[in-house]
Amino acid sequence: QAQLVQSGGGLVQAGGSLRLSCAASGFTFKDYAMGWFRQAPGKEREFVAVISRSTIKQFYAESVKDRFTVSRDNAVNTLALQMNDLKPEDKAIYYCAATENRTPTTVEGYDYWGQGTQVTVSS
């Protein structure tokens, strides 16, 4: 069955960088747009970034634009999120997700989800 396994994350000081990875299996990766979401304590899960099937299109939440970069490698079925200049407000559990839709930015638009990985940014 479809599976998304995340790695990366951890603790970093403000201004630092982290890279998250998401390995896909059980479905045809290249046929799915891929997204990143995050959920802070007490808040709803929110959109972070999405990349189209062919990598041509990427969209970002305003709060992470110019700091985060989403990428994918369809040859090895992996998705990545490079996070630079991290801020304390970026602290959250980050989730990767897959969708057969184009490039949705809502939770409801996605079919498969990773297990989540914690990102903590100290000030």
Whether pLDDT at 115 is above 90: yes
C-alpha span between 42 and 67 (Å, rounded): 24
By the 8 A CB rule, do 4 and 110 touch?
Answer: no
pLDDT in tens, 60-106: 999 999 999 999 999 999 999 999 999 999 999 999 999 998 889 99
Average pLDDT, the chain: 96
| Dihedral sign for Cα atoms in the order 40, 7, 31, 111 | negative
At 36, the pLDDT band (50, 70, 90 cuts) reads very high
DSSP state of 114: -
Which run of H or of E encompasses 97? strand 92-99
Span 15-20, average pLDDT: 98
